[in-house]
């Protein structure tokens, strides 16, 4: 159907579900279906809260091993995906792809309400919540509300004093990764 070849019959059968839409592995709690059993296993962790992959550096847990691999790059400072245009490095290939649009000027996601365009779909989704006047993420400490959960997470650090990002050069700690990046550029 698509020309992909597989050495193992099991891999071929698993891949064919991409074309058939078959999802034989169903979550008993919410009914969501999956084409691969391992995807169901990972999904079940969203119900149980299980996070079997733990960072040895800071103790943060993850439900998927690949998320731990990505997270560890925060501590090592590793940014394996580099922009050929400006040399900026990224932890994820998807972040590099989004960044490249800065150089090309592409903004393919357009708001139907006001015409504002965005480089990625998540930017458009966040923008739409602003039109709707929604700020669903509220700080239990001070009542301030946010459009994005990530902004609330960063905001909470004002109250907790948490500074999870450390400069490997001088040991200074920061509450936001972007502040650490700015600090490193100035050194």
Q: Report DSSP state, residue 141.
A: T
Query: What's the rounded Cα separation, in Å, for the pair 165 and 96?
Result: 21
pLDDT in tens, 102-115: 899 899 999 998 99
Buried b (16+ CB within 10 A) or exposed e, 10-32: eeeeebeeeeeeeeebeeeeeee
Per-residue confidence (pLDDT) for residue 96, from 0 to 100? 94
| Mean pLDDT, range 45-62, rounded to an integer | 93
pLDDT in tens, 143-185: 998 888 888 999 999 999 999 999 998 999 999 998 999 998 8
Distances (CA, A) of 150 to 54, 118, 156, 185: 21, 19, 10, 24
Per-residue confidence (pLDDT) for residue 155, from 0 to 100? 94
Fold of 137-186: Double Stranded RNA Binding Domain (3.30.160)
- Is there a shared CATH topology between the 9-48 domain and the 137-186 domain? yes
pLDDT greater than 80 at residue 14: no
H/E stretch holding 34 reads: strand 33-34
Q: What is the CATH number of domain 83-132?
A: 3.30.160.60
Q: How confident is the model at residue 1 (pLDDT cuts 50, 70, 90)?
A: low
| Mean pLDDT, range 52-67, rounded to an integer | 93
Q: What are phi and psi of 44, to 5 degrees?
A: -55, -30
Per-residue confidence (pLDDT) for residue 6, from 0 to 100? 85
pLDDT in tens, 120-144: 888 888 888 878 877 888 999 999 9
pLDDT greater than 70 at residue 23: yes
Domain regions of the chain by residue span:
9-48, 83-132, 137-186
Fold of 9-48: Double Stranded RNA Binding Domain (3.30.160)
Q: Report DSSP state, residue 7.
A: S
């Amino acid at each position: 159907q698509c020309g992909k070849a597989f050495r193992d019959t099991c891999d071929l059968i698993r891949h064919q579900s991409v074309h058939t839409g078959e999802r034989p592995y169903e979550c008993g709690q919410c009914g969501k279906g999956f084409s691969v059993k391992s995807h169901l296993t990972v999904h079940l962790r969203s119900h149980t809260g299980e996070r079997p992959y733990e960072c040895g550096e800071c103790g943060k847990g993850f439900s998927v091993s690949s998320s731990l691999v990505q997270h560890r790059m925060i501590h090592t400072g590793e940014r394996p995906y580099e922009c050929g245009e400006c040399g900026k490095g990224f932890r994820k290939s998807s972040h590099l792809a989004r960044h490249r649009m800065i150089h090309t000027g592409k903004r393919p996601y357009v708001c139907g309400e006001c015409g504002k365009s965005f480089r990625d779909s998540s930017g458009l989704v966040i923008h739409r919540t602003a039109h709707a006047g929604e700020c669903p993420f509220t700080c239990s400490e001070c009542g301030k509300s946010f459009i994005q959960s990530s902004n609330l997470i960063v905001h909470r650090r004002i109250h907790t004093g948490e500074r999870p990002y450390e400069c490997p050069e001088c040991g200074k700690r920061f509450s936001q990764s972007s502040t650490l990046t700015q600090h490193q550029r100035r050194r």
